[in-house]
Amino acid sequence: MAIRFQKARQYTEKYRGQFVSCKFCGNTDIRIWTETETFGGKPYWTVCCMTPCCDAIRVDKIRDAVRNWNERQMGREKHHEVL
């Protein structure tokens, strides 16, 4: 799991300039985290605004992270799971 945490940091740095700011608070500090499901233990990625209790989305594939976050922030989202 430690490798996924390192990957999350690397992905955050790689995509930092591509994320749109949060639509709720305007924060530009958007990060990619790794989480594990409570039941079943399947790992997944989370893209979240670093303002406490603000916006976050779950993505299964890292390549969908930027697109899904930006669509959600610009109001063009399809149906995405909300955390």
Residue 36's DSSP bridge partners are 43
Please state at what angle helix 2-15 crosses helix 65-73, rounded to 10 degrees: 60
Q: Which two structure tokens, joined as six digits, stand for 81?
A: 């799971």
Structure confidence at residue 1 (pLDDT): 60
Q: In whole angstroms, what separates CA 36 from the centre of its chain?
A: 14
- Per-residue pLDDT tens, the chain, 83 aa: give them: 688 899 999 999 999 999 999 999 999 999 999 988 888 788 889 999 999 888 999 998 888 889 999 999 988 655 445 44
Structure confidence at residue 39 (pLDDT): 81
Cα separation, 11 vs 31, whole angstroms: 8
Domain boundaries, the chain: 1-43
Structure confidence at residue 71 (pLDDT): 92
